[in-house]
Structure 1
Amino acid sequence: MAVLKVIEILANSDKSWEDAANNAVKEASKSVKNIKSVYINEQSATVKDGKMDNFRVNVKITFEVK
């Protein structure tokens, strides 16, 4: 039986929500090994001059504890 743990990460990007999620995984993988999945919990964006300029995600990252 595998033991899994979930952590919550906030990340952002000036390109897209997908890029923000990728940033979250990239940063988490620097200190967390065996990442198995990512759940996008929330998405938001800031607006500047009538356009979205900063995409934010709240993700839950699941990894296996060995």
Structure 2
Amino acid sequence: MSDHIYKRIEVVGTSKTSSDDAIRNAIRKTSDSVRGLRWFEVVELRGDIDGSDVAHWQATVRIGFRLEE
């Protein structure tokens, strides 16, 4: 069994609906251009406030993927 090498990138996903959707949007869009996604971690969660409600969610996500051999 060979050892694997991983790389991680940081992206920001957004959503008007929820923090979960912001995370999923970040992963979904990243998977369009990066193969072999393996894990993620939420680095930061923030949002815009409109009046007294959350108007927009932003999730900064580190996504790890395995480099091809």
**Bin of the TM-score, shorter chain as denominator length:** over 0.9
Question: Over the residues paired in the alignment, what is the CA RMSD in angstroms?
Answer: 0.5
Report sequence identity in percent: 24
* Higher CA-based Rg: 2
In structure 2, what is the equivalent of residue 2 of structure 1?
Answer: 4
Query: Any unmatched runs of 5+ in structure 1?
Result: none
TM-score by length of 1: 0.97
Matching residue within 15, 18, 24 for 2:17: 15
Query: Any unmatched runs of 5+ in structure 2?
Result: none
- Mapped pair 1:44 → 2:46: yes
SS of the equivalent of 1:20 reads: helix
TM-score by length of 2: 0.93
Q: Quick check: which one's strand share is greater?
A: 1
Give a deviation string over 1:25-62, Cα, whole Å, max 9, x none.
00000000110001000000110021001000100000
- Mapped pair 1:54 → 2:56: yes
Tell me the matched-pair count: 66
